[in-house]
Structure 1
């Protein structure tokens, strides 16, 4: 049974707390579903975020779009701290540090088995938004380094795409090994990511991301290790 299937079953029977966590920890041969529990700042991880991390650990593929920031799985720790600190929920310093470090640890799925295949889009405005220019430069350099990975597709949606090519909020679609046609959708909202499971929501997410068909691939240039070129 997949993480998605187990979640549906546990929700149906109203199983919560430690019993739920014990059952969830038995799922899959990939990364431990509760891999963050032994970290020093595990208590700073909210239940909603813990659910997201558990599903991500079980996912085989992920599609995501963020209109004004680089995708989370491709962020540096410094950039992640800046983005989290700017959140609407005014996180304290401990939550900022915990969130940033967890975001970096999640990136192990990009280089370690079982590899996570990701198709990531971000808005051109992400190249313009940063409180610290050196942090932004480091983030761009990191994205250029990750873009050639065989399991990574990174594209920028230009401002010239207009409204049809831009989403108003972040969206993530996860797919799982035993049910690759369906999945879980997370829509960005105040207070976190809202999960959706129905086929209608999956199709809606697919259509929304497909609107970014004017996006340009990120590729490394040979002239400079921190420069980037974009192709349609």
Structure 2
């Protein structure tokens, strides 16, 4: 999906530079404005070298820009030929639109998750997730719940991926809130303690006693950062995600993503160190076990 996003962003930049509307660009590409809009949004859309050359002419592209578009098209075809993402096998368990989140998570090399209510999915135990899932799907069948749990377990393989870094910034309420029984939350905190020593995983807690309300205004969010594309070496801008009751919001515009990046930096300033965060989790573990 990264080459598609990069191609769409490059086309948008060139089109806007020429004060051309999407409708006009769609006429050049001999397609509908809706289909062209999907192309700029980085969504799955058929794209040919003939179309890209026509758009390059219309956008007065330099030779370098034209080569970049064609290189990105090669990367898209290569990625498509390598097969669909692993999550396709769990399509029955994935909420509408969440496959986009899974694709971002799979492509990212660094994920920062600021959470004020629950443990991030990549760090959840199966029983903690089970308690959450039954709360969200009170009328679901046991089979549906198990599929949801299998999906989360499969996602957690990302933590073993070479070069992948996961940064969890947690408000203390995440540690203190009982989800399920005492044994469930105790197991979950123990799992966090274990993961906090794993390579590529950093867990830091913002304590209740912190006077600065940084992060609480922004609520929970996730930041995805990506490596350069392998062939073109084009850098891929980060993406922010916020989950809501009716679905997730993906933020991709540079100015808006920068606000989330700044917020994450401010949260890091007031969060406890990894070692002090471990001490806090150990105290919470003893309290739940008493």
Aligned-pair distance for 1:20?
Answer: 2.9
- How many residue pairs match? The answer is 219
Q: Contact (CA 8 Å) 2:38, 2:45: kept in 1 or not?
A: no
Residue in 2 that maps onto 1:192: 247
TM (norm. structure 2) is 0.63
Bigger Rg, which one? 2
Q: Contact (CA 8 Å) 2:242, 2:249: kept in 1 or not?
A: yes
1:139-178 correspondence runs (5 A):
139-162=188-211, 164-168=213-217, 169-178=219-228
Greater strand content: 1
Alpha-carbon distance in 2 for matches of 1:152, 1:61: 10
Alpha-carbon distance in 2 for matches of 1:216, 1:5: 36
Corresponding position: 1:183 with 2:207? no
1:193-232 correspondence runs (5 A):
193-212=248-267, 213-219=269-275, 227=282
Q: Contact (CA 8 Å) 1:65, 1:121: kept in 2 or not?
A: yes
Corresponding position: 1:34 with 2:85? yes
Structure 2 gap segments, 5+ residues each: 12-33, 48-75, 229-233, 285-290
Corresponding position: 1:14 with 2:38? yes
Aligned-pair distance for 1:118?
Answer: 1.4
TM (norm. structure 1) is 0.77
**What are the Cα deviations for residues 109-133 of structure 1, in whole angstroms up to 9, with x where unaligned?**
11133x3211111111122212311
Distance change in 2, residues 1:208/1:29 (3 Å): farther
Aligned-pair distance for 1:108?
Answer: 1.0
| Match 1:122 to one of 170, 174, 180 | 170
Q: Please provide the CA RMSD for this pair.
A: 3.7
Q: Which has the higher contact order (CA 8 A, sep 6+)?
A: 1
Structure 1 gap segments, 5+ residues each: none
Greater helix content: 2
